A = this chain, B = another copy of it.
Amino acid sequence: MRSCREIETTLALPPKSGNQNITQEDMNTADSSMANSRTADEVTTNEILELEEGALRRWLSGDPSGFLEISANDVVYFDPFTERRLNGLVELTPYYEAIRGKIHADRFEILNPLVQLVGGAAILTFNFISYGGNENAMCWNCTEAYRRNDDQWRIIQTHWSFAKVK
């Protein structure tokens, strides 16, 4: 079985342009002073990516609150361990709280993130790899739908699934 990393480098992924694969380190070194020279869409795209990466970093340290804090009350949720869609923070919160402190990864990669902007909605998709800890090189597909409310972006739909590994 090949690793996810091998898949990434073997497949002919689209050329890296505006949305490049990003790591924790990339986010830390982003130069926010460049915001004025970017288009509004670029600023929004970066804002969405920063929200997601921040929540993921907390998630992989065992803290689900990062995602809970940026999810709307009417968020809906799928992952490979749910038998049906979870509806609302009222269902997602206890689901996340049950695994608080149980998730850990040494590092992760967000591969080829794409943000599709449609007015007050933003559809973020990416492939994801987590390494080490209790999730050794797990390969994921992810879709997050964000909605802007009062200048704050909140997740209204999360869908995690396993990507195929050859």
Residues of chain B with a CB closer than 8 A to A126's CB: 85
* CB of A123 closer than 8 Å to a CB of B: yes
Q: Say whether, besides A14-B87, A80-B164, A112-B84, A120 and B123 are in contact (CB < 8 Å).
A: no
Q: Are B80 and A161 in contact (CB under 8 A)?
A: yes
* CB of A27 closer than 8 Å to a CB of B: no
Q: Are A85 and B141 in contact (CB under 8 A)?
A: yes
A46 to chain B, nearest CB (A): 19
CA distance A55 to B163 in the complex (A): 24
Q: Say whether, besides A74-B116, A118-B121, A119-B119, A82 and B164 are in contact (CB < 8 Å).
A: yes
A96 to chain B, nearest CB (A): 16
Q: Are B163 and A84 in contact (CB under 8 A)?
A: yes
Residues facing B in A1-37 (CB within 8 A) are 7-8, 11, 13-14
Residues of chain B with a CB closer than 8 A to A139's CB: 83
Of B84, B111, B112, B159, which contacts A111 at CB under 8 A? B84
Nearest 9 A/B pairs, CB to CB: A161-B161, A119-B119, A121-B121, A118-B121, A78-B141, A143-B159, A123-B145, A159-B159, A83-B164
